[in-house]
Chains A and B, each alone.
Chain A
Amino acid sequence: MFNPEMAQDALSTLLLGLLITVELTLLCGASSLVFGMFVALARMSHIRPLRLVVSGYVQLVRATPLLIQLIYIYYALPFVGIRLSPFMSAYLGLTLNVSAYLAEVYRSGIEAVPRGQRDAAAALGMRPSVIMARVVLPQGIRIVIPALGNYMVSLFKDTSLAAVITVQEMLFAGQIYAARTYDYFTIYTVVFVLYFAVGYPAIRLVMLLEKKVKRGYADRKRLLMTPTGDVAAMEVRP
């Protein structure tokens, strides 16, 4: 059954694959956190054509499977002259996909900020853009930090779909190795464990963030937010 020597031999290949998995996760995650915010703001824009285009994109992404989106970008787009490397295809597909979902998350956060907050900011003479950047977003983003975290964990797992378009991430590396040695049990067990070894701490971190958010703003270790939605720093107040 499980062959420890085989596992040991495969480990370096699989770890290289894991590295690509993590790279893809971090790149797509960071891009989606920023791009998703722009999408969310565009959906609330006063410019009607912009709103229509962006909501069309969000519906398109949400109504189709991610696997098909990746396959389409890598295998179909070359026929209309758009040729991307496997990694670039995966980066583009995953980012467009996750951004659409994050935009909805951001929007729910923005809508969850009480109207009185806008009224108070407006009464002080803040312009709409200042109200959004200084009052609404810092609160709205904070509300959705746990949801954003969950999407980041999902993204980490979904990068495995990139195997289908020959990105050399961990699942693909495992498939190649298994096909060569026929030891599917050992190889996929190692792949399974490696996903868990990264994924489990990640979900624990999300749970921790959730607790922190619930504890309120006066908590000693406080999450500092930037308007783009990146978790900028953990600040310890004196």
Chain B
Amino acid sequence: MLDLLDRVDLGLLWLNAQGQIKVCNQWLVDLAGLQSRPDGQTLTEAFGPEVDPKLLRAVEQALQLGRATRLSHAFHPTPLPLRARRGDPQQRMQQAVDVLPLRWLGAQGCLVQVRDLTEATRREQLLKQQARQLGHDLGELRIAQDELTRHSTRLRELTRLAPVALFETDLQGHLLYTNDRFLSLWNLSPAAILGRHWSALLPQQAALALAAPWAELMSTPDRIQRDVRIATPDADDRWLQLEAGALRNLDGAAFGYLASLVDVTALYRRAQHLEHRAHHDPLTGLPNREKLMQKLEGGLAAAQWLGQALRLIFIDLDGFKLVNDLHGHAAGDAVLQAIGQRARRVIRGEDVIARLAGDEFALMLSDAPTLAQVDAVMDKVMSAITEPIRYGDQWLSVGGSWGLASFPADGTDAGTLLAAADACMYAQKQARKRTQGERLGAVAGRSQ
């Protein structure tokens, strides 16, 4: 029997009603470092003063009251002074002890069972440590998740409220995400648009123009900005401003593109309008002096390059002041508008007629016209000027004087050429006035 008890992997003691040890298995003898089996000794005599008083009380209760008692490891880690079976021999064995009343061989007594919990304790501590770490990690993960959710919500709201159309594509340019403004810009639904190449939304010419800068995005850290003209046959042209940049991961590798589109049509129209106002005479709609000078410089550069002549004619109205004085400025304005319209009709598309100031006009003829061709054009222009103009129930008429300056003979720059044409016109006007004066004098002489 004792041999059997010596082979079990736990400590066993049986004490009689007097609290004397009658059975002590080898497990306890070895681990308590006893010289021999403590037959007839009390617990304190056998194991020394380090025996936990709780254990002594439990034994007492078992023997006197028949109570069974569990001394858990948590509250009583080492009720008996036993050495640990592994590791540091100075370490105490972590134990759990059960004391239960037990009659044996007809005698009242109690059984003390000692379980070695050293390994279980170590494992459980490890488990608890891991659980705490896991709890901590989960807490951090939850915080990160909350932050991510907040971030994502913020981003979604920002893209929803953004005053521009936003879209994301993969590296091949296929649409992965668009905001509502993007959809309304193209009047499309997400189902119709996602997965398509974004440039398929553009006219072919614009798509081709953007292909190269879009491809460059992959290799440059910079963003690109381009204005794209959207020409549609059944609607006015639109202008969109595209700004795009690559999306990169932490290693710097691009994984897609994020881009915005802003409709800048209104800006373009306003700029065109301002540009027109800056270069045109508001009364006649003809180019003004500044525009003429620009055209003249362009024309001179071309003429110089081609080795051709260029003709500039300065025109000054005769009798315009009289119209103003007799019929008022509104009548004068009507005359200028009518002359502007007519003159535009009689010149070629590539020629330019401009109102310089007051009743002064200038006409630039490109393509090296001969003097005969100039005369032919001026005949038409002068007819347009001198033909009577209906103003209310009256007919108004003015005359005109003109002077020609040619490149390169009379000047090689715009200012010189214009001054030369002006001087020529003035000379012609003076000469005509003189001739008219002589004629009038001759007529007066004849009548005298």
A in complex with B: no
B-binding residues in A (CB < 8 A): none
